[in-house]
Chain A
Amino acid sequence: MRRSLNITPVPGAAAAEALPRIVAFVEEMAELDDWAPDLVLRSNLILEELILNTLTHGRTSGLSDIEITLESGENSVTITLVDDGTAFDPLNDEPSPDTDLPLQERSIGGLGLHLVRTMAEDLAYKHADGKNHLTLVARAGA
């Protein structure tokens, strides 16, 4: 099955206020299509990192809508995100953090997108019609 959810940024609201709706959307879809538990967790993680990144890093200029589309596959889900905010390629525009640094030198910057890039498959980004289009696949199992 294929379903969409639209997130509209609320001026002044904390970005994380969007999360409960996203989690509920994923869980509803997961129940209808009987997703494996780890597929639910991965899909939630990928969506949280990408959407909070869009909502919190100054890319909300001109942003009026983020459309999330989920399509169930064989032990997988294809996630499509389209937003009309500032152009940003989450696959290339932010370097991966150095995950080998010692404890006191580590910072958390970039870790969310690093998780997404490592965990998801078949990632593709394009900027077209004034919008960011990102598609990726979350898969169950290791």
Chain B
Amino acid sequence: MELAQERDAGTNVISPAGRVDGSNSAEFHESLMAALSGDDNRVILDMGGIDYISSAGLRVLLLLAQHLGGNSTPFAVCSLAASVDEVFRISGFNQIITVFGTLDEAKAQLA
């Protein structure tokens, strides 16, 4: 699991790549939490590099969304692969986490 990060004027864009399953979800959680800063005005998780996520990975996204929601920090995900989008829809995550088609859309519209 690789994780790239880019900060621009308070927008924290985190871009993980690889598979998120039960064998690396704890590491995924740790990396995501370490990538956050109290100075973030908003957080965008670019999922374009993830083609597989199981419920173990969804749990991490839920914890992240709940953490940021508790701080009232705007949070969105973007660029979901079709397979990840399917998992989001079945689990109802598209109703609790803001999803944008592309990173540009997320940057322009997340407030």
Binding site for B on A (CB under 8 A): 15-17, 19-20, 23, 38, 41-42, 44-45, 48-49, 52, 99-104, 106-108, 111-112, 114-115, 118-119, 142
A-contact 0/1 string along B84-95, CB 8 Å cutoff: 001100111001
CA of A52 to CA of B57, assembled, Å: 13
Q: Which residues of A contact B96 (CB under 8 A)?
A: 101-103, 106
Secondary structure at chain A's binding surface: helix, strand, loop or mixed? helix
Checking A44, A99, A104, A107 against B52 with a beta-carbon cut-off of 8 angstroms, the contacting residue is: A44
Alpha-carbon distance A23/B21, docked complex (angstroms) = 11
- Which A-chain residue is minimally distant from B52 (CB atoms)? A41
In angstroms, Cα B91 to Cα A107, docked, is 11
B contact patch SS: helix
Option from A42, A100, A104, A115 in Cβ contact (under 8 Å) with B95: A100
Task: State which of A45, A52, A100 has its C-beta within 8 Å of the C-beta of B92.
Answer: A100
The 6 closest A-B pairs by CB, nearest first: A99-B92, A112-B55, A16-B23, A16-B22, A108-B59, A103-B96
Pick from B52, B58, B66, B82: contact of A111, CB below 8 A: B58
A to B CB contacts below 8 Å, 16 in the list: A16-B23, A44-B21, A45-B87, A52-B22, A99-B90, A99-B92, A100-B92, A103-B62, A106-B66, A106-B96, A107-B62, A108-B55, A111-B58, A111-B91, A118-B90, A119-B86
